[in-house]
Amino acid sequence: MRLLTERTDIGLRDLWTDEDTVEFQVDAPRAHDVLRTLRDDPDLAFFMLADAAAVDYGIGQRFEVVYHLFSWKHPGWLRIRAHVDRAEPRIASITDLWEGAMFHEREMYDMMGIVFDGNRDLRRIYMSPDYRSFPQRRDFVLPDDAADSSAAGVNPLERPETWDLTLFNRAPAVTFPTSELRDDAPGEAVEDGTTLADTSRPR
């Protein structure tokens, strides 16, 4: 870890550690250079890409592409979090460094919609080729959700008016046990800071 923090030329910032992981953050345009340096520098020698995953921090926030690397010369896993603009989700592909990143990047493109510049085979991998949505984004609405379901309205919780609790309170003659309140229903905060759904969930 000392070795990593001394190497200021790599461009790593925001050091954070836990018991067996060392974490740095980079901006997307620098990520490819950083990873190449980490792999090729004989003092560092992070020869193995353990994992590459995308994280969505929600609307108005950012994407992150998270790389986990392994080296014999380093006591922990190395985590590189590359910040990707959510409005313009692009980052350089690392398939030229590790061929095995291909399936990782295809999965990230399929699930999150992040485009990898320089990837020669950026297709969907799990969903069918004519699918157009990105299912693991936080703002993804499930196509079979509530209003579109053929059973819509059978369960009061599936009626659109129950999604907004203020509307729900005004709606007459719809009752339901509080224990069925969904976590994602817009909850009114009660006094102690927890939501209705939290306190009512059976243990």
Binding site for another protein (CB under 8 A): 18-21, 23, 47-51, 53, 55-56, 66, 68, 70, 72, 76-77, 79, 88-90, 98-104, 111, 113, 115-117, 120-136, 140-141, 143, 145, 147-148, 159-161, 163-164, 166-167, 183, 186, 198, 201, 203
User: Which tokens belong to 91?
Assistant: 């980052």
Three-class DSSP category at 21? strand
As measured in angstroms, the least distance from the Cβ of 6 to another protein is 23
Say if residues 2 and 12 touch (Cβ distance below 8 Å).
Answer: no
Tell me whether residue 8 or residue 128 sits nearer to another protein (CB atom). Answer: 128
Residue partners of 26: CB distance under 8 A and separation at least 6: 11, 12, 13, 34, 80, 81, 82, 83
d(CA 106, CA 124): 6
Say if residues 137 and 112 touch (Cβ distance below 8 Å).
Answer: yes
Tell me whether residue 7 or residue 70 sits nearer to another protein (CB atom). Answer: 70
As measured in angstroms, the least distance from the Cβ of 170 to another protein is 11
Tell me whether residue 9 or residue 123 sits nearer to another protein (CB atom). Answer: 123
